[in-house]
Amino acid sequence: MAYTGYERYANENRRTQQKADTNMRQVNSEVNRRQAEKRAQDRANKTKMEGFINSMPEGFDAEQLSDKYKPGLEKFLKAGKDKYANAAMEISDYEPGTEEYQFYKDQMSAVTNSFKSAKTQVDLFGTNKKDLGVDLSNGTYSKGNDIGEMSLLTDVYTDQYDMVFNENGTIGFDDGSGNITSFNELPDYFNKDFKTGDAIQKMAEGIYKSGQPFNPATKLMHRNKLQSMIEQGGIETLYSLANDDFFNSGGLGIPDEILKDPNRRDEVENMVIDQFLGVLESQAKSGSVYGKKKNYNKKKLNLSPKVNKWVSDNEGADLKAEDWMANVFAGTKYYLEAAYASAEDDAEIKGYYIVKEGRRSGEGLTYVPDLSTSTLGPIIEKLKI
């Protein structure tokens, strides 16, 4: 069948239109596909950003902080949240694994970690503030602490300084002159070593009750015990024993320049041990006298009524030779004579002799180590004074 020129022209136009329509449909389909992909990517980005925003640290309340410090904390938390939110919006434009993605991810992690660090330090600050207040009020802190460090702690925990919040979540304290002390750099303090002090007190009580004076062996034994206590307790025990009022008001009186000199540690230990050993030795001596008194009280002595009454009335008194001479030896053939440690003019009196009148040289001497009633009572009974 033959086409006329007009029909051929119409068919060609129809095919051209069909082809154009097909091309348009393909273009529209591609546009729609791309728009759909873009919408899907936008939704994914939004979801991703919302996920990051929802994981933003919420901050925290700090009831233990005074009103003076709370504005600084709120400013720190707001700055952190703003930084986190900006990073969360930026990160949605990048694929995981890219340098840009990791950069913003690190920023968000830094904010989260700074909030955790700040909360930890603020909570610890509140705990320390309470503990120091109790220890200062009760007087349980050791006087062995450095006085300058205790002054710093007192100022910090009584809100005398301004609290500074650093970007990384650490806190510091500004003294008003631009000198900032980090919370991590605040000095520690320690309390009195009541455990060691009580242990030494119990040692002293036991030594006293034993009624036995020290001999070289027991003295060395107790020195070693004191040495072991100090070694186990460490430097804080040494400082506490030297400065706190366990047996002596005001401590042992060792100057700080000696006490705190690390090169003189052994010397200081010996000084502390010597002084406490002296206390224990004194307790042993007193306990020995006390034991003699107990034994004396159990025995009824055969004394004249007058002498017996005077001895009983003065039991435990610090008697002198003149007291015995005036109240017991007066009118008898006996008297007391001092026994010196050596022949030197200023020699120490180590005891006394009971001497009978008319004695020949070296005869009639009865030595007594002290003038207590428990020591002299049985002797005057034996001598029938």
Per DSSP, helices labelled H in the chain are 5-54, 70-91, 99-138, 147-157, 194-210, 216-233, 235-243, 256-259, 265-298, 305-313, 321-324, 373-382
DSSP lists the bridge partners of residue 164 as 172
**Domain spans of the chain, in order of start:** 70-185, 194-295, 300-382
Give me the phi and psi of 293, to 5 degrees please.
-65, -40
Q: Which of 309, 299, 275, 315 is nearest to 382 (CA)?
A: 299
From CA 322, how far away is CA 200, in angstroms rounded? 38
Contact criterion met (CB below 8 Å) for 303 and 381: yes
pLDDT in tens, 272-315: 999 999 888 888 887 655 555 555 444 556 677 888 888 888 87
Given a cut of 80, is residue 343 above it in pLDDT? no
Cα–Cα nearest to 316, from 350, 292, 351: 292
Longest dimension (CA), the chain: 184
What tokens appear for 119 in the block? 């909360």
Which pLDDT value is given to residue 237? 94
Q: What pLDDT, on a 0 to 100 scale, did the predictor assign at position 284?
A: 81
Identify the weakest region by mean pLDDT among 128-142, 149-163, 190-204, 306-320. Answer: 306-320
Residue 35's pLDDT is what?
A: 62
The sheet with strand 365-368 has its strands ordered as 334-340, 349-356, 365-368
**Given pLDDT bands bounded at 50, 70 and 90, which one contains residue 49?**
very low
Q: What single DSSP character describes residue 234? A: -
pLDDT, the chain, mean: 81
**What own/partner pairs with CB < 8 Å and gap ≥ 24 does 128-134 have?**
128/157, 129/64, 129/157, 130/64, 132/157, 132/189, 133/157
Amino acid 58 reads E
Burial class (CB in 10 A: 0-12, 13-18, 19+), 164: middle
Strand, helix or coil at 181? strand
Q: Determine whether 51 is exposed, middle or buried from the number of CB atoms within 10 Å of its CB (0-12, 13-18, 19+).
A: exposed
Alpha helices in 234-299 (DSSP H): 235-243, 256-259, 265-298
Most confidently predicted of 60-64, 113-117, 207-211, 215-219: 113-117
Cα 53–Cα 55–Cα 61 angle in degrees, nearest 5: 105
Tokens of 306: 């007058």
Instruction: Using alpha carbons, select from 162, 184, 187, 188 the residue that is nearest to residue 175.
Output: 162
- Other C-beta atoms closer than 10 Å to the C-beta of 63 total 7
230 by Cβ neighbours in 10 Å (0-12 / 13-18 / 19+) ranks as buried
What is residue 192's DSSP assignment? -
